[in-house]
Amino acid sequence: MTGTKPIKPTKLTMVSSICAICLDAIDKSIAKLEPCNHKYHIDCIRTWHNYSNDLNCPTCRIETNQLSVNIYPEIQSPPVKITLKTGFNINKIEEYCELIRRQPMHGTTGIRRNDYHPLLNEEESVIYEAISDEFEENYDSDMENDFDNSDLRVAELNESFGNILNINDDNEANNNPEELIGTFITKQNDLTPSKKQKQILQCSICGETNQEINICCQVCKIIYHDSCLRSLALETNEPATWMNCIQCFESVTAFKMPKIKDDNVFTFNSDEIMIYNGQIRDINSVLSQQLYEQTKVKSLEQLRIAKTQIQSHVRKALHELNKNATTSVDKIGINDFTKINKKVSRELYKISDYEYKSDDIDYDSEAMRLVLIELVNLGYMNHL
Protein backbone atom coordinates (compact mmCIF):
# COMPACT_ATOMS: atom_id res chain seq x y z
CA MET A 1 0.00 0.00 0.00
CA THR A 2 1.46 3.32 -1.03
CA GLY A 3 0.52 6.92 -0.49
CA THR A 4 -2.18 6.48 2.11
CA LYS A 5 -1.92 10.12 3.08
CA PRO A 6 -5.09 11.96 2.09
CA ILE A 7 -4.64 14.53 -0.64
CA LYS A 8 -6.52 17.77 -0.87
CA PRO A 9 -9.16 17.64 -3.59
CA THR A 10 -8.39 19.76 -6.62
CA LYS A 11 -10.59 22.60 -7.73
CA LEU A 12 -12.59 20.28 -9.96
CA THR A 13 -14.40 18.75 -7.05
CA MET A 14 -14.59 21.66 -4.64
CA VAL A 15 -17.70 23.34 -6.00
CA SER A 16 -20.67 22.07 -4.07
CA SER A 17 -23.29 22.58 -6.77
CA ILE A 18 -21.40 20.19 -9.03
CA CYS A 19 -21.84 16.45 -8.72
CA ALA A 20 -18.31 15.18 -8.18
CA ILE A 21 -19.07 11.92 -9.93
CA CYS A 22 -20.26 13.19 -13.31
CA LEU A 23 -19.08 16.81 -12.97
CA ASP A 24 -22.52 18.04 -14.04
CA ALA A 25 -24.41 20.69 -12.14
CA ILE A 26 -26.85 19.42 -9.55
CA ASP A 27 -30.05 21.33 -10.06
CA LYS A 28 -32.93 18.97 -9.53
CA SER A 29 -33.05 15.75 -7.55
CA ILE A 30 -30.29 16.46 -5.12
CA ALA A 31 -29.31 13.35 -3.22
CA LYS A 32 -27.60 14.10 0.06
CA LEU A 33 -25.74 11.33 1.82
CA GLU A 34 -26.17 11.25 5.56
CA PRO A 35 -24.52 11.78 7.95
CA CYS A 36 -21.75 13.48 5.92
CA ASN A 37 -24.06 15.68 3.78
CA HIS A 38 -22.11 15.32 0.56
CA LYS A 39 -24.35 15.85 -2.43
CA TYR A 40 -24.61 13.97 -5.72
CA HIS A 41 -27.14 13.17 -8.39
CA ILE A 42 -29.25 10.30 -7.18
CA ASP A 43 -28.31 8.33 -10.31
CA CYS A 44 -24.63 8.87 -9.85
CA ILE A 45 -24.40 7.92 -6.20
CA ARG A 46 -26.63 4.89 -6.62
CA THR A 47 -24.60 3.68 -9.60
CA TRP A 48 -21.46 4.09 -7.55
CA HIS A 49 -22.82 2.28 -4.52
CA ASN A 50 -23.92 -0.53 -6.76
CA TYR A 51 -20.42 -0.69 -8.11
CA SER A 52 -18.43 -0.26 -4.95
CA ASN A 53 -20.34 -2.79 -2.86
CA ASP A 54 -20.15 -0.53 0.16
CA LEU A 55 -22.12 2.49 1.26
CA ASN A 56 -19.18 4.81 1.78
CA CYS A 57 -19.30 8.38 0.59
CA PRO A 58 -16.91 8.65 -2.36
CA THR A 59 -15.75 12.08 -1.20
CA CYS A 60 -15.07 11.60 2.50
CA ARG A 61 -15.13 7.81 2.74
CA ILE A 62 -17.44 7.82 5.74
CA GLU A 63 -19.92 4.98 5.83
CA THR A 64 -23.34 6.44 5.13
CA ASN A 65 -26.70 5.06 6.10
CA GLN A 66 -29.27 7.30 4.53
CA LEU A 67 -29.88 9.17 1.30
CA SER A 68 -31.97 12.31 1.53
CA VAL A 69 -33.47 13.18 -1.83
CA ASN A 70 -34.94 16.54 -2.71
CA ILE A 71 -36.83 15.86 -5.85
CA TYR A 72 -38.35 19.25 -6.36
CA PRO A 73 -36.30 21.69 -4.27
CA GLU A 74 -38.28 24.65 -5.58
CA ILE A 75 -41.53 23.60 -3.92
CA GLN A 76 -39.90 23.09 -0.52
CA SER A 77 -41.30 19.63 -0.10
CA PRO A 78 -39.75 17.62 2.70
CA PRO A 79 -36.92 15.48 1.36
CA VAL A 80 -37.54 11.81 0.73
CA LYS A 81 -35.35 9.68 2.95
CA ILE A 82 -34.03 6.48 1.54
CA THR A 83 -32.59 4.04 4.00
CA LEU A 84 -29.63 2.67 2.17
CA LYS A 85 -29.18 -0.35 4.35
CA THR A 86 -32.62 -1.82 3.93
CA GLY A 87 -32.78 -0.68 0.39
CA PHE A 88 -35.86 0.80 -1.06
CA ASN A 89 -38.43 -1.42 -2.67
CA ILE A 90 -40.16 0.59 -5.31
CA ASN A 91 -42.22 -2.37 -6.39
CA LYS A 92 -44.14 -2.40 -3.15
CA ILE A 93 -45.04 1.24 -3.54
CA GLU A 94 -45.98 0.83 -7.14
CA GLU A 95 -48.05 -2.20 -6.41
CA TYR A 96 -49.93 -0.26 -3.81
CA CYS A 97 -50.50 2.77 -6.00
CA GLU A 98 -51.78 0.53 -8.74
CA LEU A 99 -54.06 -1.23 -6.32
CA ILE A 100 -55.56 1.97 -5.01
CA ARG A 101 -55.96 3.37 -8.48
CA ARG A 102 -57.94 0.36 -9.62
CA GLN A 103 -60.51 0.76 -6.90
CA PRO A 104 -63.63 2.27 -8.45
CA MET A 105 -64.51 4.50 -5.51
CA HIS A 106 -61.15 5.91 -4.66
CA GLY A 107 -62.31 9.48 -4.51
CA THR A 108 -60.89 12.56 -6.07
CA THR A 109 -57.28 12.61 -5.00
CA GLY A 110 -56.44 9.18 -6.24
CA ILE A 111 -54.79 8.14 -3.02
CA ARG A 112 -55.68 8.90 0.52
CA ARG A 113 -52.82 9.81 2.74
CA ASN A 114 -53.37 7.47 5.61
CA ASP A 115 -54.07 4.30 3.73
CA TYR A 116 -50.73 2.75 4.45
CA HIS A 117 -50.13 -0.48 2.75
CA PRO A 118 -49.64 -3.36 5.18
CA LEU A 119 -46.48 -4.27 3.29
CA LEU A 120 -44.83 -0.91 3.81
CA ASN A 121 -42.63 -0.27 6.77
CA GLU A 122 -42.49 3.12 8.40
CA GLU A 123 -39.69 4.37 6.18
CA GLU A 124 -41.42 3.39 3.01
CA SER A 125 -44.62 4.97 4.20
CA VAL A 126 -42.82 8.28 4.41
CA ILE A 127 -41.65 7.93 0.86
CA TYR A 128 -45.05 6.84 -0.19
CA GLU A 129 -46.52 9.92 1.40
CA ALA A 130 -44.14 12.11 -0.56
CA ILE A 131 -45.29 10.43 -3.72
CA SER A 132 -48.93 10.97 -2.98
CA ASP A 133 -48.15 14.65 -2.52
CA GLU A 134 -46.90 14.50 -6.06
CA PHE A 135 -50.09 12.93 -7.27
CA GLU A 136 -52.15 15.58 -5.60
CA GLU A 137 -50.07 18.26 -7.24
CA ASN A 138 -50.65 16.76 -10.65
CA TYR A 139 -54.24 16.27 -10.03
CA ASP A 140 -54.77 19.81 -8.81
CA SER A 141 -53.39 21.28 -11.98
CA ASP A 142 -55.61 18.95 -13.98
CA MET A 143 -58.55 20.21 -12.04
CA GLU A 144 -57.85 23.79 -12.84
CA ASN A 145 -57.55 23.09 -16.51
CA ASP A 146 -60.30 20.69 -17.14
CA PHE A 147 -62.97 20.63 -14.50
CA ASP A 148 -65.13 23.06 -12.68
CA ASN A 149 -65.41 20.92 -9.61
CA SER A 150 -64.16 17.64 -8.29
CA ASP A 151 -67.55 15.98 -8.56
CA LEU A 152 -67.18 15.89 -12.30
CA ARG A 153 -64.08 13.77 -11.94
CA VAL A 154 -65.86 11.31 -9.71
CA ALA A 155 -68.75 11.19 -12.11
CA GLU A 156 -66.42 10.53 -14.98
CA LEU A 157 -64.66 7.73 -13.18
CA ASN A 158 -67.90 6.10 -12.17
CA GLU A 159 -69.20 6.45 -15.67
CA SER A 160 -66.13 4.78 -17.08
CA PHE A 161 -66.20 1.91 -14.68
CA GLY A 162 -69.86 1.52 -15.39
CA ASN A 163 -68.97 1.19 -19.04
CA ILE A 164 -66.47 -1.51 -18.38
CA LEU A 165 -69.06 -3.55 -16.60
CA ASN A 166 -71.51 -3.08 -19.44
CA ILE A 167 -69.16 -3.92 -22.24
CA ASN A 168 -67.53 -6.98 -20.81
CA ASP A 169 -70.09 -9.65 -20.18
CA ASP A 170 -67.28 -12.03 -19.49
CA ASN A 171 -65.71 -10.82 -16.31
CA GLU A 172 -62.34 -12.38 -16.84
CA ALA A 173 -61.20 -9.39 -18.85
CA ASN A 174 -61.47 -7.29 -15.73
CA ASN A 175 -58.70 -9.22 -14.13
CA ASN A 176 -56.19 -8.21 -16.72
CA PRO A 177 -55.04 -4.67 -16.02
CA GLU A 178 -54.02 -4.04 -19.61
CA GLU A 179 -57.39 -5.07 -20.95
CA LEU A 180 -58.96 -3.05 -18.22
CA ILE A 181 -57.19 0.09 -19.31
CA GLY A 182 -57.88 -0.82 -22.91
CA THR A 183 -61.61 -1.06 -22.51
CA PHE A 184 -61.65 1.80 -20.10
CA ILE A 185 -60.47 4.10 -22.79
CA THR A 186 -62.04 2.45 -25.79
CA LYS A 187 -65.55 3.25 -24.75
CA GLN A 188 -66.14 6.64 -26.23
CA ASN A 189 -69.72 7.53 -25.40
CA ASP A 190 -68.71 9.58 -22.39
CA LEU A 191 -71.47 11.83 -21.25
CA THR A 192 -69.00 13.95 -19.38
CA PRO A 193 -67.51 16.60 -21.60
CA SER A 194 -63.73 16.57 -21.51
CA LYS A 195 -61.42 19.09 -23.07
CA LYS A 196 -58.60 16.59 -22.98
CA GLN A 197 -57.19 15.59 -26.32
CA LYS A 198 -57.84 11.97 -27.15
CA GLN A 199 -55.09 10.29 -29.09
CA ILE A 200 -55.12 7.14 -31.13
CA LEU A 201 -52.49 4.55 -30.45
CA GLN A 202 -51.11 3.95 -33.93
CA CYS A 203 -47.97 3.24 -35.91
CA SER A 204 -46.26 6.54 -36.58
CA ILE A 205 -45.33 5.47 -40.09
CA CYS A 206 -48.35 3.76 -41.58
CA GLY A 207 -51.02 4.94 -39.17
CA GLU A 208 -52.38 1.42 -38.63
CA THR A 209 -53.77 0.58 -35.22
CA ASN A 210 -53.52 -3.20 -35.34
CA GLN A 211 -52.06 -5.69 -32.91
CA GLU A 212 -48.83 -6.06 -34.91
CA ILE A 213 -47.31 -2.84 -33.56
CA ASN A 214 -44.24 -4.01 -31.69
CA ILE A 215 -41.66 -1.22 -31.47
CA CYS A 216 -41.52 2.04 -29.56
CA CYS A 217 -39.22 4.99 -29.02
CA GLN A 218 -38.74 5.68 -25.32
CA VAL A 219 -37.71 9.24 -26.00
CA CYS A 220 -40.46 10.36 -28.35
CA LYS A 221 -43.15 8.09 -26.86
CA ILE A 222 -44.24 6.93 -30.28
CA ILE A 223 -44.78 3.45 -31.66
CA TYR A 224 -44.01 1.66 -34.91
CA HIS A 225 -44.34 -1.60 -36.77
CA ASP A 226 -40.88 -3.07 -37.12
CA SER A 227 -41.83 -3.82 -40.74
CA CYS A 228 -42.57 -0.13 -41.34
CA LEU A 229 -39.23 0.93 -39.87
CA ARG A 230 -37.42 -1.66 -41.96
CA SER A 231 -39.02 -0.69 -45.23
CA LEU A 232 -38.47 2.99 -44.53
CA ALA A 233 -34.79 2.31 -43.86
CA LEU A 234 -34.58 0.39 -47.14
CA GLU A 235 -36.22 3.26 -48.99
CA THR A 236 -33.66 5.71 -47.69
CA ASN A 237 -30.84 3.33 -48.63
CA GLU A 238 -29.79 2.90 -45.03
CA PRO A 239 -31.09 -0.56 -44.13
CA ALA A 240 -28.83 -0.72 -41.09
CA THR A 241 -30.54 2.23 -39.41
CA TRP A 242 -33.95 0.66 -39.05
CA MET A 243 -33.41 0.24 -35.32
CA ASN A 244 -33.36 4.02 -34.88
CA CYS A 245 -36.36 6.23 -34.21
CA ILE A 246 -37.12 8.37 -37.25
CA GLN A 247 -37.62 11.46 -35.10
CA CYS A 248 -34.76 11.43 -32.64
CA PHE A 249 -32.46 8.71 -34.08
CA GLU A 250 -32.27 6.95 -30.74
CA SER A 251 -32.44 3.17 -30.67
CA VAL A 252 -35.97 1.88 -30.51
CA THR A 253 -37.10 -0.88 -28.16
CA ALA A 254 -39.74 -3.56 -28.08
CA PHE A 255 -43.29 -2.50 -27.36
CA LYS A 256 -46.19 -4.53 -26.06
CA MET A 257 -49.39 -3.48 -27.75
CA PRO A 258 -52.33 -3.78 -25.35
CA LYS A 259 -55.09 -6.18 -26.37
CA ILE A 260 -58.14 -4.52 -27.85
CA LYS A 261 -61.57 -5.99 -28.33
CA ASP A 262 -62.72 -6.53 -31.93
CA ASP A 263 -61.95 -3.67 -34.25
CA ASN A 264 -61.99 -0.98 -31.61
CA VAL A 265 -59.29 1.63 -31.79
CA PHE A 266 -57.14 2.22 -28.72
CA THR A 267 -57.45 5.87 -27.84
CA PHE A 268 -55.98 7.54 -24.83
CA ASN A 269 -55.59 10.82 -23.03
CA SER A 270 -51.96 11.74 -23.33
CA ASP A 271 -52.00 13.28 -19.87
CA GLU A 272 -53.26 10.10 -18.23
CA ILE A 273 -51.57 7.36 -20.20
CA MET A 274 -48.12 7.17 -21.67
CA ILE A 275 -45.76 4.81 -23.39
CA TYR A 276 -43.11 3.74 -20.96
CA ASN A 277 -40.65 0.86 -20.95
CA GLY A 278 -42.34 -0.71 -23.90
CA GLN A 279 -45.79 -0.61 -22.40
CA ILE A 280 -48.86 1.51 -22.05
CA ARG A 281 -48.75 2.82 -18.52
CA ASP A 282 -50.75 5.02 -16.24
CA ILE A 283 -48.86 8.28 -16.04
CA ASN A 284 -49.01 8.41 -12.25
CA SER A 285 -47.43 5.04 -11.80
CA VAL A 286 -44.73 6.02 -14.24
CA LEU A 287 -44.15 9.21 -12.29
CA SER A 288 -43.59 7.33 -9.11
CA GLN A 289 -41.22 4.97 -10.85
CA GLN A 290 -39.32 7.87 -12.32
CA LEU A 291 -38.77 9.43 -8.95
CA TYR A 292 -36.42 6.56 -8.41
CA GLU A 293 -35.11 5.86 -11.82
CA GLN A 294 -34.78 9.56 -12.47
CA THR A 295 -35.19 8.87 -16.11
CA LYS A 296 -34.81 12.12 -17.88
CA VAL A 297 -37.84 12.14 -20.05
CA LYS A 298 -37.53 15.38 -21.87
CA SER A 299 -40.52 16.64 -23.76
CA LEU A 300 -40.54 16.06 -27.46
CA GLU A 301 -40.56 19.77 -28.09
CA GLN A 302 -37.46 20.34 -25.96
CA LEU A 303 -35.72 17.54 -27.81
CA ARG A 304 -36.64 19.00 -31.16
CA ILE A 305 -35.20 22.36 -30.20
CA ALA A 306 -31.99 20.82 -28.91
CA LYS A 307 -31.75 18.68 -32.02
CA THR A 308 -32.14 21.59 -34.43
CA GLN A 309 -29.61 23.70 -32.58
CA ILE A 310 -27.06 20.92 -32.39
CA GLN A 311 -27.53 19.98 -36.02
CA SER A 312 -26.88 23.53 -37.12
CA HIS A 313 -23.35 23.27 -35.71
CA VAL A 314 -22.75 20.02 -37.54
CA ARG A 315 -24.01 21.48 -40.82
CA LYS A 316 -21.86 24.52 -40.27
CA ALA A 317 -18.78 22.32 -39.88
CA LEU A 318 -19.64 20.35 -43.00
CA HIS A 319 -20.29 23.45 -45.09
CA GLU A 320 -17.09 25.03 -43.91
CA LEU A 321 -15.13 21.98 -44.99
CA ASN A 322 -16.85 21.94 -48.38
CA LYS A 323 -16.16 25.63 -48.87
CA ASN A 324 -12.46 25.05 -48.26
CA ALA A 325 -12.30 21.99 -50.50
CA THR A 326 -9.90 22.71 -53.34
CA THR A 327 -10.74 19.85 -55.65
CA SER A 328 -14.05 18.26 -56.49
CA VAL A 329 -12.73 15.02 -54.97
CA ASP A 330 -12.57 16.70 -51.55
CA LYS A 331 -16.16 17.87 -51.74
CA ILE A 332 -18.38 15.85 -49.48
CA GLY A 333 -21.04 14.06 -51.48
CA ILE A 334 -24.70 14.48 -50.58
CA ASN A 335 -25.02 10.92 -49.25
CA ASP A 336 -21.98 11.22 -47.03
CA PHE A 337 -23.09 14.67 -45.95
CA THR A 338 -26.40 13.30 -44.68
CA LYS A 339 -24.78 10.28 -43.13
CA ILE A 340 -22.15 12.28 -41.28
CA ASN A 341 -24.65 14.91 -40.23
CA LYS A 342 -26.87 12.24 -38.71
CA LYS A 343 -24.12 10.32 -37.00
CA VAL A 344 -22.30 13.30 -35.55
CA SER A 345 -25.51 14.97 -34.39
CA ARG A 346 -26.49 11.79 -32.62
CA GLU A 347 -23.12 11.65 -30.88
CA LEU A 348 -23.52 15.27 -29.82
CA TYR A 349 -27.01 14.69 -28.40
CA LYS A 350 -25.58 11.98 -26.27
CA ILE A 351 -22.76 14.14 -25.03
CA SER A 352 -25.22 16.94 -24.30
CA ASP A 353 -27.68 14.67 -22.56
CA TYR A 354 -30.33 15.75 -25.11
CA GLU A 355 -30.17 19.34 -24.03
CA TYR A 356 -28.54 22.23 -25.81
CA LYS A 357 -25.78 23.33 -23.45
CA SER A 358 -23.82 25.99 -25.27
CA ASP A 359 -22.26 27.19 -22.01
CA ASP A 360 -20.78 23.81 -21.24
CA ILE A 361 -19.98 22.52 -24.66
CA ASP A 362 -18.15 24.17 -27.51
CA TYR A 363 -20.41 22.72 -30.18
CA ASP A 364 -18.51 24.17 -33.12
CA SER A 365 -15.23 22.53 -32.23
CA GLU A 366 -16.83 19.30 -31.00
CA ALA A 367 -18.83 19.07 -34.24
CA MET A 368 -15.70 19.72 -36.29
CA ARG A 369 -13.75 17.13 -34.32
CA LEU A 370 -16.38 14.44 -34.83
CA VAL A 371 -16.99 15.34 -38.48
CA LEU A 372 -13.28 14.99 -39.20
CA ILE A 373 -13.25 11.54 -37.64
CA GLU A 374 -16.13 10.49 -39.87
CA LEU A 375 -14.42 11.95 -42.92
CA VAL A 376 -11.25 10.03 -42.19
CA ASN A 377 -13.32 6.87 -41.81
CA LEU A 378 -14.91 7.52 -45.19
CA GLY A 379 -11.56 8.11 -46.87
CA TYR A 380 -11.61 11.88 -47.26
CA MET A 381 -7.99 12.26 -46.28
CA ASN A 382 -7.33 15.70 -47.73
CA HIS A 383 -9.43 17.45 -45.12
CA LEU A 384 -6.73 16.86 -42.58
Partner 1 sequence: MSLKRLLKEKRLIEKELSGYSESIELLEPVAFENFLKWRAVLKGPVNTPYHKHSFKLLIELPSEYPLVPPAITFEPYSMPHCNVEFSTGKICLNILEHEHWSPVWNLMYVMVALYQLLQEPVVDSPLNIDLANILRAGDTSAYHGLINYYLQEDTATH
Site residues (vs partner 1, CB under 8 A): 1-5, 7, 9-13, 20-24, 44, 47-48, 51, 58-59, 61, 350-353, 360-361, 366, 369, 372-373, 376
Q: Which residues of 37-59 are buried (b: 16+ CB within 10 A; e: fewer)?
A: ebbbbbbbbbeebeeeeebbbbe
Which of 32, 39, 41, 153 lies at the binding interface for Zn ion (CB under 5 A)?
41
3-class SS of residue 149: coil
Question: Are the C-beta atoms of residues 24 and 18 closer than 8 Å to each other?
Answer: yes
Judged by beta carbon distances under 5 to 8 A according to partner kind, the member of Zn ion, partner 1, none in contact with residue 228 is Zn ion
Q: By CB under 5 A, is residue 220 in contact with Zn ion?
A: yes
Residue number with CB closer to partner 1 (55 or 372):
372
How many residues interact with Zn ion (rule CB under 5 A)? 21
Instruction: Report in angstroms the alpha-carbon separations of 143 from 136, 152, 279.
Output: 10, 10, 27
Residues 6+ apart with CB under 8 A from 204: 222, 223, 224, 246, 247
Q: Shortest Cβ distance from residue 312 to partner 1 (Å)? A: 20
Question: Of Zn ion, partner 1, none, which one does residue 247 interact with (CB within 5 to 8 Å by kind)?
Answer: Zn ion
One of 60, 119, 200, 376 touching Zn ion (CB under 5 A): 60
Of 337, 326, 329, whose CA–CA distance to 371 is shortest? 337
C-alpha distances in angstroms, 89 versus 33, 94, 132, 331, 371? 19, 9, 16, 57, 45
List binders of Zn ion among 15-34 (CB under 5 A).
Answer: 19, 21-22
Q: Choose the contact partner of 369 out of Zn ion, partner 1, none; CB within 5 to 8 A by kind.
A: partner 1
Tell me whether residue 32 or residue 153 sits nearer to Zn ion (CB atom).
32
User: CA-to-CA distance for 239 and 260, rounded, in angstroms?
Assistant: 32
Between residues 1 and 191, which has the closer beta carbon with respect to partner 1?
A: 1
Q: Rule CB under 5 A: which residues touch Zn ion?
A: 19, 21-22, 36, 38, 41, 44, 57, 59-60, 203, 205-206, 217, 219-220, 225, 228, 245, 247-248
